[in-house]
Copies of this chain bind each other. A is one copy, B any other.
Amino acid sequence: MNLPAKSPSASETRHRILDAAEVLFVEHGFEATSMRMITGAARANLAAVNYHFGSKDALIQEVFRRRLTELNRQRLAALDRLEADAGGAALKPSRIVEAYFGTALQLAADTEHGGHTFMRLLGRTYTEPNAFIRKFLAEEYAGVLERFRAALYRALPDVPREEILWRFHFMMGAMSYAIAGTDGLQLFAGRFDDADPVRLMPRLMSFLLGGLRAPLAGFEQACDDQPGRAAA
């Protein structure tokens, strides 16, 4: 099984280009990655990108589309399952957050099929200056975000909706940076002995939910300011 696809319609070159581009985009960024670098790494002709995708921009778009379509499909499926299980009752916010960020973290933990690579790329791209990329990313996300936004509104009826959006925003930032920034800047170079993406999940999820549950205004709650110890 898993024989190399010989069918020309599956265009094996096309896939090699997408894979090579994904890796190089993470490593050097979109602008600094030249078509020559991509086709070189993909063992393809320089003109192959334009032949298969039309332009560099279209290639970038396809790199995202093939992964995001699947990721967001899984996110929606997870949310569907939650709602089906709840049977009309309001969902627990933590479950919603898990459905959204857990799915992404699972993809980020996949180091075998490029999932980790892609999530690093995606994390960085949220602050991408290129207008074209921003635009189609927003379009690609529109549907999913709408669903999760509505779910959170229902789950947190007493929280001002604007605050919900902000916290969702903060959570996305924490996750993006956690994934994209770790191998990048390495501000605490050498100190992350354990950058295993698998173990990132519980750490990040705990942080995110802590942030989500934090008191709404001000931060001078009477507390000892120490992380709590989870009940076993």
Contacts and interface: CB of A to CB of B under 8 A. Distances in A.
Contact of A158 (B127, B203, B206, B226): B226
A230 B206 contact: no
B227 A231 contact: no
B185 A137 contact: yes
Contacts of A149: 188
Query: Among A128, A129, A168, which residue has the most Cβ atoms of chain B within 10 A?
Result: A129
Contact of A226 (B27, B28, B156, B192): B156
B206 A216 contact: yes
A170 B177 contact: yes
Interface string A200-217: 001111111111111111
A174 B31 CA distance: 25
Interface stretch (A11-19, A71-79, A106-114, A159-167): A159-167
A85 interface: no
Contacts of A217: 202, 206, 230
A81 B43 CA distance: 48
A228 interface: yes
A181 interface: yes
A208 B125 CA distance: 23
A185 B127 contact: yes
Given A31-B32, A165-B192, A205-B219, 16 more contacts: A26-B129, A126-B185, A126-B187, A138-B187, A156-B226, A169-B182, A169-B188, A170-B177, A170-B207, A173-B176, A173-B181, A206-B216, A209-B219, A211-B214, A213-B227, A219-B230
